[in-house]
């Protein structure tokens, strides 16, 4: 049993902030455990350093991570399915001497984790229409494809991963439509309507006007919150706020000049540091 369990929000390659945060919480890899909320890489100053560091922590049994949308995007770029965006500082990962090892490790990480029997962690949250058990089972469907031994299967998914349709979950969805929809709920979701339909254009704060009929996914009474606390990242404009006792965001927008956050599960304490790159 770990002494303390911390959920750390979106790193996006902010390695210097991660070092400061680990020092602040006095992280001891021999006693404590970190659950990373995904988006390990992308627009920060050292995505390669972050990826190597987190991989080592996971392999020594001191951490675990879920995949975020930026992590999936890196996989697509590494497989030559997509070109790296100018804003993403991830080319050095693909050029690195240990690139194949890093990418292979990354694609074997989950989309959903249970830090304890009362907490569920995904990158973007859990829609109101899914129970915790269903969320875990659906996540496994995508995980099996991303980690498949046949790269033709992996590439087929990564090629079809991008898109906003279908925007509503149906149990009878099949093939790439099914996989894409699961992925969108777990890694891209911000707004839904009451039936769980996704809306992808809105990225602002809770005070900004939202498309008619849509609200943040956590505004609807959800199946999962009846049994679990949901911890998630992805939405920097939320600034790591506690939505309610059952829903906690951990994305402080570190890569945008905000804070990197660690949420201690044992006592629900939130720790944060400023990103030193911006100071």
Instruction: For residue range 104-141, list pLDDT tens digits in order.
Output: 999 999 999 999 999 999 999 999 999 999 999 999 99
How far CA 177 is from CA of 16, 55, 92, 154, 164, in Å, comes to 39, 31, 32, 15, 10
| Average confidence (pLDDT) over 216-239 | 97
Q: With CA atoms as reference, report the closest residue to 159 among 144, 176, 143, 142.
A: 176
For residue 105, the model assigns a pLDDT of 98
Instruction: For residue range 238-261, list pLDDT tens digits in order.
Output: 999 999 999 999 999 999 999 999
State the Cα–Cα distance between residues 9 and 37, nearest whole angstrom.
Answer: 5
pLDDT above 80 (res 2): no
For residue 279, the model assigns a pLDDT of 79
Quick check: helix, strand or coil at residue 71?
helix
State the Cα–Cα distance between residues 132 and 185, nearest whole angstrom.
Answer: 13
Q: Which two tokens stand for residue 62?
A: 């001191």
Instruction: For residue range 131-183, list pLDDT tens digits in order.
Output: 999 999 999 999 999 999 999 999 999 999 999 999 999 999 999 999 999 99
State the Cα–Cα distance between residues 228 and 38, nearest whole angstrom.
Answer: 19
Percent of the chain with pLDDT over 90: 97
Percent of the chain with pLDDT over 70: 100
Please state the φ and ψ torsions of residue 260, each to the nearest 5 degrees: -100, 135
pTM over 0.95: yes
| Residue 86's pLDDT band (cuts 50, 70, 90) | confident
| Average confidence (pLDDT) over 1-29 | 96
Computed over every residue of the chain, the mean pLDDT equals 97
Q: Where are the domains of the chain?
A: 5-278
For residue 149, the model assigns a pLDDT of 97
pLDDT above 90 (res 1): no
Angle separating helix axes 69-78 and 175-187, nearest 10 degrees: 130
Overall CATH class of domain 5-278? alpha beta
State the Cα–Cα distance between residues 65 and 174, nearest whole angstrom.
Answer: 27
Q: Are 33 and 114 in contact (CB under 8 A)?
A: no
């Amino acid at each position: 049993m770990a002494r303390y369990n911390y959920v750390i929000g979106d790193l996006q390659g902010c390695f210097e902030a991660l070092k400061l945060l680990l020092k602040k919480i006095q992280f001891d890899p021999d006693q404590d455990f970190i659950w990373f909320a995904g988006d390990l890489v992308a627009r920060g100053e050292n995505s390669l350093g972050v990826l190597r560091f987190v991989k080592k922590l996971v392999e020594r049994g001191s951490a675990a991570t879920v995949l975020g949308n930026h992590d999936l995007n890196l996989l697509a770029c590494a497989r030559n399915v997509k070109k790296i965006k100018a804003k993403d500082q991830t080319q050095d990962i693909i050029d690195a001497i240990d690139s194949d090892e890093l990418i292979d490790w990354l694609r074997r990480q989950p989309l959903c984790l249970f830090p304890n029997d009362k907490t569920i962690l995904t990158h973007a949250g859990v829609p109101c229409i899914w129970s915790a058990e269903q969320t875990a089972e659906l996540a496994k469907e995508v995980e099996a494809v991303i980690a498949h031994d046949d790269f033709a299967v992996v590439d087929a998914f990564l090629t079809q991963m991008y898109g906003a349709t279908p925007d509503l979950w149906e149990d009878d969805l099949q093939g790439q439509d099914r996989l894409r929809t699961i992925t969108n709920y777990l890694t891209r979701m911000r707004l839904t309507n009451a039936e769980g339909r996704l809306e992808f254009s809105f990225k602002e704060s809770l005070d900004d006007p939202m498309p008619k009929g849509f609200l943040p996914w956590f505004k609807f009474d959800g199946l999962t919150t009846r049994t679990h606390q949901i911890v998630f990242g992805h939405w920097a404009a939320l600034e790591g706020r506690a939505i309610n006792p059952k829903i906690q965001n951990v994305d402080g927008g570190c890569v945008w000049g905000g804070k990197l956050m660690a949420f201690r599960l044992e006592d629900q304490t939130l720790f944060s540091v400023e990103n030193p790159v911006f100071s």
